[in-house]
Amino acid sequence: MTEQIQTLTITAPDDWHIHLRDNDALKTTVPHVASQFRRAICMPNLVPPVKTTQDAIAYRERILANVPTDSISQQFEPLMVLYLTENLTPQDIQDAVDSGVVKAVKLYPAGATTNSADGVTNINNCTDVFAKMESIGLPLLVHGEVTHNHVDIFDREKRFIDEVLTHLIVKFPKLKIVFEHITTSDAADFVISQSKNIAATITPQHLLFNRNHLLVGGVKPHFYCLPILKRQSHQEVLLDVATSGNPKFFIGTDSAPHATHTKENACGCAGCYSAPFALSLYAQAFDSVGKLENLENFTSINGAKFYGLPVNSDKVTLVRESWQVPENYEYVGNKTLTPLMAGQMLDWKVLPFGFAV
């Protein structure tokens, strides 16, 4: 019998998709992400959204103002994203790249998820922007779901591939695209079939859970996210491709904070909060299929290379040690924030940066 790995030291990871929110929420979310990751792609769906380079620079300053003052946390770098609207111009794209802080543009189909009302209604109105992005190598991040009311919520990712993404790639074959938080075998197969310009992020919840966890025995609001959890067969494919070592797939937690009372509600908000312990969740997923040796590529190598950024130089150590996820964290206005797997036990603990066994 193969002896279990007890400690694992890997290159320090990055999070290529996270929601930090804004203002007082940053007091909670920023220290959490800075404790786990060296860099993070910060989603722009604020109220109002991050639509201009000036917006991005200002948001970045608000994030940095909430980074803890210890020397380790101070190394955290937020990577900014513009929110794609049909009013964005090629000059806006050039200004974004020239700023040095904007690393991508995010496509939200209007109404697809939290704070997406200002998203795109007709993708054909963005062709000049896509052409400019293609020419200078700025990645497009896509929330890959159609939003037509008549389309079943479990089919929306597949329909997006067929009706939007396939055609976009044909028109702009050299455009770098990250298919974010994929949830289906259809999406995994599609990404694998495309050129090296097409990659995907996968969340911890879509590796560890499926729609039974959300629905059996009553709706579990803290498992509710968009795109929604799918069948177990899809979960198994995602776990297979994530742990395979394929450089097209990398970490993107999609950690999204909502106050507990807005999740545990007759109309609960979509989003799972995992920022403080996401690396432990990914380790749990990789360990479940005996692929811990590929965790580093997924969390620390593949994303940096896709974005054309240097791989982090320092390390982080995980130890096989059972610990309990907190029931909640303090949040805005004396509210609480209930994380994914609140009160449950995890098998892997991440040591603070700079510590090793």
Characterize 203-219 residue by residue with b for buried, 16 or more Cβ atoms within 10 angstroms of its Cβ, and e for exposed: bbbbbbbbbeebeeeee
User: Is 254 considered catalytic here?
Assistant: yes
Q: How is the beta sheet containing 15-18 ordered, strand by strand?
A: 15-18, 39-42, 77-83, 102-107, 140-142, 177-179, 198-202, 249-251
What is the SS3 assignment for 351? Answer: coil
Instruction: Write a three-state SS string for 286-327.
Output: HHHCCCHHHHHHHHHHHHHHHHCCCCCCCEEEEEEEEEECCC
Instruction: Quote the CA–CA distance of 5 and 261 in Å, as a whole number.
Output: 39
Name the catalytic one among 55, 254, 287, 347.
254
What is the SS3 assignment for 53? Answer: helix
Contact criterion met (CB below 8 Å) for 225 and 203: yes
Q: Which residues contact 130 (CB under 8 A, 6 or more apart)?
A: 140, 168, 171, 172, 175
Question: What DSSP character marks residue 342?
Answer: T
Q: What is the DSSP string of 92-109?
A: HHHHHHHHSSEEEEEE-B
Instruction: Quote the CA–CA distance of 328 and 340 in Å, as a whole number.
Output: 10
Instruction: Quote the CA–CA distance of 224 and 219 in Å, as a whole number.
Output: 8
Q: List the catalytic residues.
A: 254
